[in-house]
Structure 1
């Protein structure tokens, strides 16, 4: 389970565990000592992890995500449906209660997922994604360059009832490259100049950040990601990933 906190004393944990560490039912999934489950109106995430080197500290606590509504929307990312984006709850409230000073807060959140039957680098060269809270709910953009030379460009606005409204796709607006020189861009009104508000995660192939842009005349600050899968597929990158994503294949439940 990937857990990342940002700002002073921010931590990153993503341990790759074997099949013996998985328990799953219709309402709950447990991966090693951490789990997430649906209690009828909230997604409850229980975190008990150890951060990746070089920090090596415990990340433990509870996160509750309360959707304003659950959508029934799916966006195929490839023409054969091998990859799908599922925005379960684009408009949510979140409560974070971690066992560390200052890691308790409430605010605006969301919950989505990606599913696929092939490796991402087999089908994509590059993509950007962004989700921006607005007065109406939230607006999401998905732009992808596929390996077959085709492109995906999609925009959707979700209201608090979970309904999706087709949104005119604003023009692509360039951004400054990340610290690892991953190229970045997002969408915005004419004249908008998207800027990074906070760096959240910076890797040789991936950037996640808070970005400010302008949508339909309204300033919007949301989460933005850029993923360079051409870089990700390079052999020299795999050892670097292994340091940040250690494997624990023999983890067992006590009972």
Structure 2
């Protein structure tokens, strides 16, 4: 998110694109045949790109992930993301540029979301600076950000019905909250504080606080001091089953604006959603890398 709060960007690299209808229709047998670097920009001139690509578009090493024309790579202490994508309808346009994520430190924290470790959250860099340079007017900016990952061996909708996640800057670093309802009736409630050196500590959870529903009426809640009502201050992604937004909450008496997500997997299981998603997530099976 930019320092002035006017713009934000989300970039996700997928091997086995969990929200791709094409991956679901394939039976999820080969994750390497459904890869993507999803780029979404928020603010004036924002765009959404999410192209599902085949095996020929994937190249990876220990420090680099290439998917077709875009790539993520570590260079020293920073993650460099080179973007060359085409946005989805109705605003079709090419998005080119580079984003640099500069962590203050990299953590060693992992949180199993289920006891059998079939789903794991890995917050690599909860505290970071970002530098954004995209070839669109107003899209060169600096801000604060984070870098994390989720790993899984089962489809999300096979194990969960609903979850929320939030990352909020604090005076000493950042706080992250993960709340989930599993299909077996059990729940997950976790909160962590991270300082700028990457040290993590479990924190006492503030109470849950309901927020207004999204435009698609997805239920939302996050953590906040008792009696405080969190609110959306910037809309980002709004889908029938998923919402992402900049949210203002209060933690330990201090107001903070961070990124919040809510995911309704009961809705995502509805097969009628998949053709709708296919419009926003085009499939491009073939790709040839340039020599060299």
TM-score (ref. length: structure 2): 0.87
- In structure 2, the residue matched to 1:60 is 96
Q: 1:166 deviation in Å?
A: 1.5
Partners of 2:75 and 2:270 in 1: how far apart? 42
Residue 159 (structure 1) aligned to one of 186, 189, 195: 195
Displacement over 3 Å in runs of 4+: none
1:150 maps to 2:186: yes
Structure 1 partner of 2:262:
226
Report the equivalent of 2:163. Answer: 127
d(CA) in 2 for partners of 1:6, 1:244: 16
User: Matched residues in 2 for 1:31 and 1:55: separation?
Assistant: 22
Q: C-alpha distance in 2, partners of 1:79/1:149?
A: 14
SS in 1 for 2:42: coil
CA distance in 2 between partners of 1:148 and 1:60 (Å): 43
Q: CA deviation at 1:135?
A: 0.1
**Hey, what's the Cα distance between the residues in 1 that align with 2:177 and 2:91?**
34
Q: Secondary structure at the match of 1:235?
A: coil
Q: Distance in 1 between matches of 2:124 and 2:202?
A: 17
- 1:115 match: secondary structure: strand
Work out which of the residue numbers 217, 236, 253 in structure 2 matches 1:200.
236
Q: Deviations over 1:104-153 (max 9, x none)?
A: 10111110011101100001000000000000100000000001110000
Partner of 1:19: 55
| Partners of 2:150 and 2:202 in 1: CA distance | 20
TM-score of the superposition, structure 1-length normalised? 0.99
The answer to whether residue 290 in structure 2 is matched with residue 249 in structure 1 is no
Q: How does 1:49-88 map to 2 (within 5 A)?
A: 49-88=85-124
Which residue of 2 is the match for residue 103 of structure 1? Answer: 139
Aligned residues: 255
User: What's the offset of the Cα at 1:254?
Assistant: 3.0
RMSD: 0.6
Q: 1:137 is matched with which residue?
A: 173
152, 159, 165: which one aligns with 1:116: 152
Measure, in 2, the Cα distance between the counterparts of 1:254 and 1:230. Answer: 42
The alpha carbon displacement at 1:178 in A equals: 0.2
User: Separation in 2 of the partners of 1:214 and 1:204?
Assistant: 28
Correspondent of 2:44 among 1, 5, 8: 8
Counterpart position of 1:209: 245
Aligned to 2:219: 183
Query: Which residue is 1:91 aligned to?
Result: 127
Structure 1, residues 21-54: CA drift from partner, whole Å, max 9, x if none?
Answer: 0000111110000000001200000000000111
Of 50, 62, 66, which residue of structure 2 is paired with 1:30?
Answer: 66
Q: Write the distance in 1 (CA, Å) between the matches of 2:60 and 2:204.
A: 40
Secondary structure of residue in 1 paired with 2:217: coil
What are the Cα deviations for residues 72-124 of structure 1, in whole angstroms up to 9, with x where unaligned? 00000011000000000000000000011100101111100111011000010
Alignment of 1:238 with 2:274, yes or no, is yes
Partner SS state of residue 225, structure 1: strand
User: How far apart in 2 are the matches of 1:215 and 1:234?
Assistant: 36
Alpha-carbon separation, structure 1, partners of 2:135 and 2:272: 36
Distance 1:67 1:150 in 2: 34
| Secondary structure of the structure 2 residue equivalent to 1:122 | helix
Aligned twin of 2:209: 173
